[in-house]
Amino acid sequence: MTPEELTYVSVLICSIPAGRLFKGRGPRFRQWVGSGLGAGLTLVTCGPHALHSLVTALGTWLVLRAAPRRCGWATLVWTFGYLLFFRTPELWGLPQPPPYANALQLLLTLKMVSMAIDVQDQREAELKGVTSSERGELIGGLQGCPGLVEILCYSYCYLGLLTGPFYRLRTYQDWLWGPTPPVPPSLLWGRLRWVPLLALGAEVVGRVFPSGALMGPALWGWPFPWRLLYSAPVFLAFRLRFYVAWLSSEAACVAAAFGGYPKEWGARPGCGPTRRGEMGGQPPEHWDYECIRTVDPWGTERCYGVREGLRRWNMTVQWWLQHYAPYSHYTLSIGAAVTLLVSAYWHGLQGGLYLSLLSLPLWLAAEPLVGAVRRALPMRVFEYLSVGFVLRRGEDVIRYWAALGFCMHILPVVGIVVGGGSPSMEAIKRWRNPLCVW
């Protein structure tokens, strides 16, 4: 386990019992202590590089004030533009930020864009004559434009600070000002019971099958089946680490009673409730924490399609991409391409990220045409494409794919040709936006 991974594990372990601090406490205590813990964690892990996140939050506050009717798009340009500055420190003579600062910046970018678009929607509702009480009933609707203090507290709340989940400002406000949801032990235990075994599995598999072997010269001397299959344990170790991080982060939210809503409100990951009603008085079994669900490990492992696998992985960020990424609601080619391009840019500037994510539309197009492909090969597809996230460098990824004859790029093309060259009208209706996860 690397020092970086040890730091993440330590943060997550400490975050879970910290939730007891907020039991029975008032909104101001939650606001100040929650953000104080997050600010302290930021300073300890990021040091002076924490200034990047502060500049991003302050810049967003200025955008909300300067361009109230266009603050959504303006914040998108501001935060994603700042990501480019953040990731190219060598061009500006700045030191390289640590990985913790990168994780913080990624999640903060999602928060700021989502908040600004929700504020813009709220202001548009005002212009249409919607009353304050009616705005509060809107899904994700805010009562007003948040001030600087609220933006900073939302930005640095310790819950999900470095590992997710993403959550909207309205979810954060519900935690502060709403009734405290019950925390059944079964919900907490359900997220934690497999974490030690998953962590052990990630460590063992990672040591036995190091990802560096995919870049070594010995790769070309391996038999083709072994070259192809070696990515399976590498991807297994990769996703086991994320299972550990995300399940632990979910447990920290549940321990603090964050993101809990009555089941009849229909909460969805990242989105929050899809309808509202009376909050409070429901028995514990009528509550859930779907709002902060980041991953469905069992669903991911047994998925029967590429699209289904995407739905169950990093679910809160998937929801953000579907609802806030530019042109994400456009049909088939435009929506998928732009959403995947935004996702790749958000993840980083390394060529391997773009090669992997922008290869997905081939499989998304092939799935509705060839049922056998959809049912038999989704995990093999993810293993093949995950190399872009593991190796990062574009030349390393291309070298590995070349050693496999680009087989997982050729196969979907063959499937599309054999399937008739274009989806049927029913398939188009079902797959109008291939990345629509809800």
Residues 414 and 311 in one domain: yes
Q: What is the pLDDT of residue 28?
A: 97
Pick the closest to residue 315 from 199, 160, 206 (CA basis).
160
Are both 168 and 241 inside the same structural domain? no
Distance CA 238, CA 386 (A): 9
> Do 103 and 218 fall within a single domain?
no
311 and 421 both lie in a single domain: yes
Query: What are φ and ψ of residue 268, in 5° steps?
Result: -125, 150
Give whichever of 155-164, 369-378, 422-431 has the largest mean pLDDT. Answer: 155-164
Residue 426 reports pLDDT greater than 70: no
Provide mean pLDDT across the span 120-138. Answer: 69
- In this structure, the answer to whether residues 252 and 152 fall within a common structural domain is no
Q: What is the mean pLDDT of the chain?
A: 88
The answer to whether residue 349 sits within a structural domain is yes
Residue 201 pLDDT grade (very low, low, confident, very high; cuts 50, 70, 90): very high
Band of residue 136 on the pLDDT scale cut at 50, 70, 90:
low
Q: How far is CA 340 from the centre of its chain?
A: 13
Residue 113 has pLDDT above 50, yes or no: yes
Measure Cα distances from 195 to 7, 13, 189, 258, 268 in Å.
Answer: 16, 11, 10, 20, 23
Residues 378, 421 share a domain: yes
- CA-CA distance, 367 to 378, in Å (whole number)? 10
Is residue 420's pLDDT more than 70?
no
**Residues ≥6 apart with Cβ < 8 Å to 242:** 295, 314
Comparing 43-47, 268-272, 374-378, the range with the smallest average pLDDT is: 374-378
141-166 burial code (b ≥16 CB/10 A, e <16): bbeebbeeebbbbbbbbbbbbbbbbb
- Say yes or no to pLDDT of 435 above 50: no
What local confidence, expressed as pLDDT, does residue 405 receive?
Answer: 95
Kindly report the CA angle at 379 between 377 and 380, in degrees rounded to 5? Answer: 65
**Does a structural domain hold residue 389?**
yes
Same domain flag for 410 and 271: yes
Q: What is the mean pLDDT of residues 179-186?
A: 91
pLDDT surpasses 90 at 144? no
Number of domains in the chain: 2
**How is residue 179 annotated by DSSP?**
P
Model pLDDT, residue 285: 86
Distance CA 432, CA 416 (A): 17
Q: Please compute the mean of the pLDDT values over residues 309-313 and round it to a whole number.
A: 89
Q: Are residues 86 and 224 in the same domain?
A: no
**Statement: residue 117 has pLDDT above 60:** yes
- Same domain for 226 and 148: no
How far apart, in whole angstroms, are the C-alpha atoms of residue 438 and residue 99?
Answer: 31
Binned at pLDDT 50, 70 and 90, residue 375 comes out as low
Percentage of residues of the chain with pLDDT beyond 70: 89
> For the residues 171-194, what does the mean pLDDT come to?
93
Look up residue 422 and give its DSSP letter: S
Residue type, 351: G
Residue 372 domain-assigned (yes or no):
yes
For residue 55, the enclosing domain spans 3-177
